[in-house]
């Protein structure tokens, strides 16, 4: 019985430690000269080696990027990939119609603005 309690306690502590890590969240905001930049993220973010996109986001993690009227939202798709939503002036844009370039531009800005240990 004592062994079961120790295993149960260990499992609960492991879950809590994991939940605390996933609960970490950061935001960067810059304004001035008619420019608004906001980067918000949680979890561990891995960028592609060439800086053209995001290769992975930890389960439960996400990144939200806004540069004036252009927005990018990315999260773990549950299958080891990254799901993107891209907007320009409130209208959703596709990966093929300017989205690929927008993602690369956003990644360059994000990497310049943050050197967080959860960004790799």
How far apart, in whole angstroms, are the C-alpha atoms of residue 19 and residue 21? 5
Q: Is 7 part of a structural domain of the chain?
A: no
Q: Is 56 part of a structural domain of the chain?
A: yes
- Of 10, 99, 5, give the one whose Cα is nearest residue 52: 99
Q: Is 16 part of a structural domain of the chain?
A: no
Q: Is 13 part of a structural domain of the chain?
A: no
Q: Which residues does residue 74 pair with via DSSP β-bridges, in sequence order?
A: 63, 84
Q: Is 40 part of a structural domain of the chain?
A: yes
The pLDDT > 90 percentage for the chain reads: 48
Q: Which residues does residue 56 pair with via DSSP β-bridges, in sequence order?
A: 46
Q: 94 is in which domain, residue-wise?
A: 25-113
Question: Do residues 87 and 62 touch, judged by C-beta distance below 8 A?
Answer: no
Q: Is 96 part of a structural domain of the chain?
A: yes
What dihedral do alpha carbons 107, 112, 117, 120 form, nearest 10°?
Answer: 40
How many distinct structural domains can be found in the chain?
Answer: 1
89-119, pLDDT tens digit by residue?
A: 999 998 888 889 999 999 999 888 765 555 5
Question: Do residues 54 and 120 touch, judged by C-beta distance below 8 A?
Answer: no
Instruction: Tell me what pLDDT residue 4 has.
Output: 37
pTM, to two decimals:
0.74
């Amino acid at each position: 019985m004592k062994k079961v309690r120790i295993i149960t306690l260990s499992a609960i502590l492991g879950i809590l430690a994991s939940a605390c890590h996933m609960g970490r969240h950061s935001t960067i905001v810059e304004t001035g000269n008619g420019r608004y930049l906001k980067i918000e993220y949680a979890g561990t973010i891995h960028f592609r080696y060439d800086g053209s996109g995001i290769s992975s986001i930890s389960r439960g993690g996400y990144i939200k990027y806004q540069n004036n009227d252009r927005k990018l939202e990315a999260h773990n798709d549950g299958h080891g990939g990254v799901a993107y939503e891209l907007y320009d002036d409130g209208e959703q844009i596709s990966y093929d119609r300017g989205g690929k370039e927008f993602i690369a531009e956003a990644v360059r800005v994000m990497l310049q603005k943050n050197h967080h240990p959860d960004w790799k």
